[in-house]
């Protein structure tokens, strides 16, 4: 039997075009003391996958365990029968809560790495099954170590005073989440009064990825930010669906209109508020952070690591004064770099150390009890485990290597399809921006309204054709 534990990491290759997702996925192989085998969940579902080759199964947050396009019936059946630790990483925990809980129970999830605040975990995961599930808190992202030594321009040589990108989130995220784009809109209005050079945009077409995003950040003296999260939890998923349909048909509807119509008076009952990975990027690239008040998962201190901007922007004069004082701004930037970006506490390596510790404890638990915490081991599983125990280590390693090779080929095809899907989406957004800019409003508004409605219907088709989702 192999001396090293083998862990299957199921993830979504299509999500890895976002840098923070790719770093998070790759950190398992880079830092774990265990042998990690990465497989795109869609590819895994099409394979004759022998899960008994593994000692544990991990679901990355890039997949949605309750959707068959990520975990099909064949894969779900194998995982349900698997006798070993099953660990779930999850984000956007305010969506599809009931079906997520049901899927977790059917799969036999034993550990959940959650990003939500400790005081609301069981308000969200409120079914009896989770009485026996272990919860571990984690962050949505960590220090991008590759940026720590990145050469950045001097503060005075940066061409943009404030740079920011966000997108208007759907109404089902609640009033807390709309701060992400409201801060940008308000600072744009403030910029005219203070003669600030800003590059702030909230449209989908304006989003920047990869190296272009890093270059953009390096050209900014300051960036904006709020806590990530939501203030409405959609347990049934019906509110989510209704709001998406309504906003597609009424793209100019205000959040207040959507809230009063659909959020059932529950906006603010449960508030999820956590630090965003962009905070770590800004700290690493020595960009001054101008943020709304928040706890930021205990990582940041106002006045020490960032400049606090009040939600009503009543202290904008003080914020601008710091922005225009290279010495004071520089001191805040340096503290954020030294105490946050360079801290060993928020690295991917530290994160995986936490994961390895939890996995090790779970391995001992399963070895001690000899059975799954939820499902008594069947005779058939007993036989499979016995077969696995006598499998020669060289043969075992060969099978794992072959499995990962097949998975990598499937992931490569998915990356190409994802690139094409993103290109189509960016082209549509660019066309919309041109129409909005150059056509009179009496012509552009009906065209854009039709385009928005059509895109809402076409996107699922593109996903099904290109991404098989």
Predicted pLDDT of residue 210: 82
pTM, two decimals, is 0.80
> Are 277 and 140 a contacting pair, CB within 8 Å?
yes
Low-confidence ranges of the chain (pLDDT < 70): 1-3, 368-396, 398-399, 401-403, 406-407, 409-415, 417-469
Top CATH class of 145-345 equals alpha beta
Q: What is the CATH number of domain 6-141+347-415?
A: 3.40.50
Predicted pLDDT of residue 424: 64
Please say whether the dihedral angle defined by the alpha carbons of residues 285, 288, 290 and 295, taken in this order, is positive or negative: positive
Predicted pLDDT of residue 38: 94
Residue range(s) of every CATH 3.40.50 domain in the chain: 6-141+347-415, 145-345
Predicted pLDDT of residue 428: 62
Predicted pLDDT of residue 206: 81
HSE-up of 127 (CA within 13 Å, CB side)? 14
Cβ neighbours of residue 188 under 8 Å, at least 6 residues apart? Answer: 198, 200
Predicted pLDDT of residue 434: 64
The string over 19-48, giving b where at least 16 C-beta atoms fall within 10 Å of a residue's C-beta and e elsewhere, is bbbbbbbebbbebbebbbbbbbbbbbbeee
Backbone angles phi, psi at 200, to 5 degrees: -125, 130
């Amino acid at each position: 039997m192999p001396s090293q534990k083998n862990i299957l990491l199921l993830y979504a290759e299509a999500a890895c075009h976002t840098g923070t997702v790719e770093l998070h996925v790759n950190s398992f192989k880079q830092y774990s003391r265990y042998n990690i085998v990465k497989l795109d969940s869609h590819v895994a579902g099409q394979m004759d996958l022998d899960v008994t080759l593994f000692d544990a199964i991990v679901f990355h947050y890039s997949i949605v365990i309750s959707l068959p396009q990520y975990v099909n019936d064949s894969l779900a059946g194998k995982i349900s029968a698997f006798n070993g630790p099953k660990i779930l990483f999850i984000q956007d925990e305010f969506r599809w809560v009931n079906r997520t809980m049901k899927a977790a129970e059917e799969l036999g999830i034993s550990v959940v790495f959650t990003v939500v605040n400790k005081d609301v975990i069981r308000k969200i995961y409120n079914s009896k099954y989770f009485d026996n599930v272990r919860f571990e808190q984690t962050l949505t992202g960590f220090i991008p170590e590759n940026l720590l030594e990145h050469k950045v321009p001097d503060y005075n040589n940066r061409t943009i005073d404030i740079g920011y990108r966000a997108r208007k989130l759907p109404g089902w995220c609640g009033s807390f989440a709309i701060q992400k784009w409201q801060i940008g809109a308000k600072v744009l209005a403030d910029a005219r009064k203070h003669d600030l050079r800003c590059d702030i945009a909230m449209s989908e077409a304006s989003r920047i990825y990869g190296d272009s995003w890093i270059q953009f950040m390096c050209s900014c003296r300051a960036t904006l930010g709020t806590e990530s999260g939501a203030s409405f939890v959609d347990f049934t998923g019906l509110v989510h669906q209704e709001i998406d349909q309504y906003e597609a048909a009424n793209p100019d509807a205000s959040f207040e209109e959507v809230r009063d119509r659909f959020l059932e008076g529950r906006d603010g009952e449960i508030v999820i508020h956590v630090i965003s990975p962009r905070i770590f990027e800004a700290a690493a690239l020595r960009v001054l952070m101008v943020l709304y008040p928040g706890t930021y998962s205990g990582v940041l201190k106002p006045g020490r690591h960032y400049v606090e901007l009040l939600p009503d922007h009543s202290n904008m004069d003080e914020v601008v004064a710091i922005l225009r004082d290279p010495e004071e701004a520089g001191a805040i930037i340096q503290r954020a770099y030294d105490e946050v970006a360079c801290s060993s506490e928020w690295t991917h390596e530290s994160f995986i150390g936490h994961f390895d510790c939890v996995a090790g404890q779970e391995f001992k638990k399963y070895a001690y009890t000899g059975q799954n915490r939820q499902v008594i081991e069947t005779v058939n599983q007993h036989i499979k485990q016995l077969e696995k125990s006598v499998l020669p280590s060289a043969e075992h390693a060969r099978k794992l290597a072959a499995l990962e090779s097949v998975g990598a080929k499937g992931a490569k095809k998915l990356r190409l399809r994802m690139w094409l899907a993103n290109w189509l989406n960016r082209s549509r957004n660019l066309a919309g921006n041109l129409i909005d800019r150059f056509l009179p409003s009496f012509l552009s508004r009906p065209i854009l309204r039709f385009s928005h409605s059509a895109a809402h219907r076409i996107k699922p088709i593109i996903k099904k054709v290109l991404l098989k989702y």
